[in-house]
């Protein structure tokens, strides 16, 4: 009888343990905000999370964790990544740290891929981008917001005006970009380690993204570069700096080469210079 009780007790412990393992340890439920989690592209996001954690290398610090995966115990340093459906989210809310949870990253699945497709392999003039590698960079950026203790706003909407005004929110975004760049550069310096290899992959993807942004600007907006068009070089709205400028800045912070510096300087020159008058009709006498 005693042996039977011991067996039953052991079985209960095993079942309870399995049940606990099947329950993801979350600190926030997006349903509170009327948001719905998605099961799509989990493997891709898991790959991106692994890359970002490898580069960040914060053994005793923040760790990105898929919200759908069980964890045995919490350290209080988990940053849960949620894949969300588009319901009740604006198109501009692609990836961000919500105000309601400063250790959460919300990723709108469909919007991310729509955004990536704009800059990837467009009419065979652009280079194809790896979704999980680009996402790894974006996650490092969001991790920067977590370190700041700040939420990250949605990307600018198309109805906002172009400007070159510095705002507090733009400074927050620049600081998060600098955090991501510093982590990538630090990891790349660890020659012979997996961190360095992973960082190199992200570097390559950022270079490809920079090339694509330049190609789109020159081909899809023919002539706009010559006249320093505001819609190409200025910031759209008051929350985020110009996206191409951000990527050029990150590339320069990571690689610190003469080429990366000159590319960044050339872009900035277009920001401050007024459009040149290419042709002026002679005055009628």
pLDDT tens-place string over residues 186-229: 999 999 999 999 999 999 999 999 999 999 999 888 899 999 99
pLDDT confidence bin for 120, thresholds 50/70/90: confident
Q: How high is the pLDDT of residue 241?
A: 94
pLDDT higher at 71 or 134: 134
Return the top range by mean pLDDT from 3-7, 228-232, 281-285.
228-232
- In the chain, where are the structural domains located? 30-154+169-272
Share above pLDDT 90 across residues of the chain, in percent, rounded to a whole number: 67
Please give the full DSSP string across 218-273, using - where no structure is assigned: HHTTTTTTTTT-HHHHSEESSSS--HHHHHHHHHHHHH--HHHHHHHHHHHHHHHS
39 half-sphere exposure, CB direction, 13 A CA radius: 0
> Where is average pLDDT lowest: 32-46, 137-151, 213-227, 247-261?
213-227
Whole-number pLDDT of residue 60: 85
User: Which residues are 106's β-sheet partners?
Assistant: 82, 96
């Amino acid at each position: 009888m005693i042996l039977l009780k011991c067996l039953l007790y052991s079985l209960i412990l095993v079942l309870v343990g399995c049940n606990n393992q099947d329950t993801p340890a979350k600190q926030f439920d997006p349903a509170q905000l009327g948001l719905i989690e998605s099961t799509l592209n989990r493997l891709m996001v898991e790959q991106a999370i692994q890359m970002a954690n490898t580069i960040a290398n914060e053994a005793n610090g923040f760790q990105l964790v898929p919200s759908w995966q069980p964890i045995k115990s919490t350290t209080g340093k988990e940053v849960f990544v949620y894949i969300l459906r588009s319901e009740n989210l604006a198109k501009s809310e692609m990836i961000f740290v919500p105000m309601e949870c400063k250790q959460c990253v919300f990723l709108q699945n469909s919007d991310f891929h729509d955004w990536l497709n704009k800059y990837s392999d467009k009419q065979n003039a652009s280079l194809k981008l790896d979704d999980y590698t680009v996402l790894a960079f974006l996650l490092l950026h969001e991790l920067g917001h977590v370190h700041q203790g700040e939420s990250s706003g949605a990307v600018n909407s198309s109805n906002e005006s172009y400007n070159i005004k510095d705002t507090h929110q733009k400074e927050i975004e620049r600081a998060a970009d600098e955090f991501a760049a510093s982590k990538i550069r630090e990891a790349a310096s660890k020659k012979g380690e997996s961190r360095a290899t992973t960082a190199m992959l992200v570097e390559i993807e950022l270079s490809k993204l920079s090339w694509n942004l330049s190609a789109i600007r020159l081909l899809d907006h023919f002539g706009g570069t010559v006249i320093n068009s505001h819609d190409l070089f200025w910031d759209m709205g008051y929350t985020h700096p110009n996206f191409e400028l951000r990527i050029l800045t990150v590339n320069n912070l990571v690689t610190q080469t003469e080429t990366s510096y000159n590319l960044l300087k050339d872009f900035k020159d277009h920001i401050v210079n007024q459009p040149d008058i290419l042709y002026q009709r002679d005055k009628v006498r």
